[in-house]
């Protein structure tokens, strides 16, 4: 029994009171007929607190995945040009997403055809790209979503359950290459889609999930930012280059870009053909180029 001090007295703590009623007529009920006994609360062994078990493997894997993603971001940011950016992406992305095949595709200015294609793990790449362009691209539900929303997607996001293997893209293209699951992300610039990254899992590999989409969204953001940086850098270089030319030399450069010969340029500007030749030589030195095509390439963003 437990005791508690109350004033100058020590009183028992009544943990449980048992009342015993003795049957008797109401008019004979007295305090003698009401007896009660006090018994201490029985001690109940404390139950062990359930232990929270952390899945150490999952936690380790998540940390490793985050580290690999950050390493990829840093590698992309360290690229000095578009080609190096593509190579760094291709080298670092496959293992993170657990894919057997992946690629990066950049579109032309009309956004109608791919001008740059890098693919890993695909047998007969040219045949696949040709087949996809011919029968796959127009019916690709994942790419349609990416084009419309400028956001990454996989087949289970855009098709009803069981719809993937019934769609035209799978039956006419992906089935031939054992692409059981696909995921695509956008590369954007200037408010438009300028490219895409594609991933495929083959055989019994699991489908892509929301974490894959989240990670791919981050990767696409970094890719788009790097490409925008290269574009800004090139524009700055072009502006600096054209500032080194005189008004007459700029006029000649514009006519060179139109494909005119030296004689035609001379006729258009009312100057001798030899004057055009001498002007071009000065332009070669100022722009540090060796031919007319390089002049056009260096100044194309300014010359239109």
pLDDT tens for 222-258 read 999 999 888 777 666 566 677 788 888 888 988 998 8
Q: What is the pLDDT of residues 167-188, one digit of tens each?
A: 999 999 999 999 999 999 999 9
Domain boundaries, the chain: 3-39, 63-237, 244-303
Residue 119 is predicted with a pLDDT of 92
Tokens of 278: 């001498």
Q: How far apart are CA 113 and CA 41, in angstroms?
A: 83
Work out the pLDDT band at 287, boundaries 50, 70, 90: confident
Which position has the token pair 């009183």?
11
Give the number of other CB atoms < 10 A from CB of residue 276: 24
Residues in Cβ contact with 200 at an 8 Å cutoff, skipping those fewer than 6 apart: 99, 100, 101, 102, 174, 177, 179, 180, 181, 182, 183
CA atoms within 13 A on the CB side of 208: 30
Q: State what percent of residues in the chain have pLDDT above 70.
A: 71
DSSP state string for 109-152: TTSSSEEEEEEES-TTHHHHHHHIIIIIGGG-HHHHHHHHHSS-
What per-residue confidence (pLDDT) applies to 254?
Answer: 87
CATH class of 63-237: alpha beta
**pLDDT by residue (tens digit) across 90-135?**
998 999 999 999 999 988 666 566 677 889 998 888 898 889 989 9
Task: Return d(Cα 268, Cα 155) in angstroms, integer.
Answer: 57
Q: Which band of pLDDT confidence, cut at 50, 70 and 90, is reported for residue 36?
A: very low
pLDDT tens digits for range 43-93 = 545 444 344 333 344 556 556 666 678 999 999 999 988 889 999 999 989
Q: How far is the C-alpha of 269 from the C-alpha of 258, rounded, in Å?
A: 14
Selected from 1.10.10.10, 3.40.50.1820, 2.30.42.10, 3.30.1780.10, the CATH number assigned to the domain covering 244-303 reads 1.10.10.10
Q: What pTM value is reported for the model?
A: 0.61
Residue 262 has pLDDT above 70, yes or no: yes
Show Cβ contacts of residue 204 under 8 Å, excluding neighbours closer than 6 positions: 180
Residue position matching structure tokens 């030749």: 277
pLDDT at position 303 is: 60
* pLDDT at residue 197 is higher than 50: yes
State pLDDT tens for residues 202-220.
999 999 999 999 999 999 9
Considering only CA atoms, which of 269, 228, 263, 213 is closest in space to residue 246? 269
Better-predicted residue by pLDDT, 32 or 140: 140
Per-residue pLDDT at 18: 47
Tell me the H-state helices in the chain: 56-77, 82-97, 125-131, 141-149, 155-158, 168-172, 210-242, 247-257, 262-269, 273-287, 292-303
CA distances from 231 to 74, 122, 171, 186, 235 (A): 19, 30, 39, 17, 6
Phi and psi of 50, rounded to 5°?
-60, 135
Angle, CA 43 vertex, CA 42 and CA 48 arms, to 5°: 145
**In Å, what is the CA distance from 16 to each residue of 2, 37, 45, 72, 153?**
12, 9, 18, 67, 64
pLDDT averaged over the chain? 80
Who wins on pLDDT, 24 or 75?
A: 75
């Amino acid at each position: 029994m437990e005791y508690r001090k109350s004033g100058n007295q020590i009183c028992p703590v009544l943990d449980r009171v048992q009342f015993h009623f003795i049957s008797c007529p109401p008019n004979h009920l007295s305090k003698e007929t009401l007896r009660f006994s006090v018994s201490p609360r029985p001690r109940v062994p404390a139950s062990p607190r359930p232990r929270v078990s952390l899945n150490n493997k999952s936690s380790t894997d998540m940390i490793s995945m985050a580290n690999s993603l950050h390493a990829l971001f840093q590698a992309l940011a360290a690229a000095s040009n578009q080609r190096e950016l593509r190579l760094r992406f291709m080298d670092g992305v496959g293992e993170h997403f657990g894919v057997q095949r992946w690629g990066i595709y950049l579109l032309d200015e009309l956004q109608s055809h791919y001008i740059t294609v890098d693919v890993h793990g695909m047998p007969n790449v040219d045949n696949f790209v040709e087949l996809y362009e011919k029968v796959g691209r127009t019916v690709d539900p994942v790419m349609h979503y990416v084009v419309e929303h400028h956001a990454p997607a996989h087949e289970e996001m855009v098709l009803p359950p069981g719809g993937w293997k019934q769609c035209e893209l799978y039956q006419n293209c992906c089935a031939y290459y054992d692409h059981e699951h696909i995921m695509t992300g956008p590369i954007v610039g200037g408010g438009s889609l300028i490219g895409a990254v594609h991933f495929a899992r083959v055989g019994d590999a699991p489908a892509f999930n929301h974490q894959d989409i989240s990670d791919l969204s981050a990767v696409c953001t970094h890719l788009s930012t790097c490409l925008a940086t290269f574009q800004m850098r090139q524009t700055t270089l072009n502006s600096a280059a054209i500032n080194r030319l005189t008004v007459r030399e700029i006029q000649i450069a514009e006519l060179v870009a139109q494909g005119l010969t030296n004689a035609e340029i001379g006729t258009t500007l009312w100057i001798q053909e030899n004057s055009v030749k001498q002007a071009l030589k000065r332009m070669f030195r100022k722009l540090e180029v060796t031919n007319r095509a390089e002049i056009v390439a260096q100044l194309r963003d300014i010359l239109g």
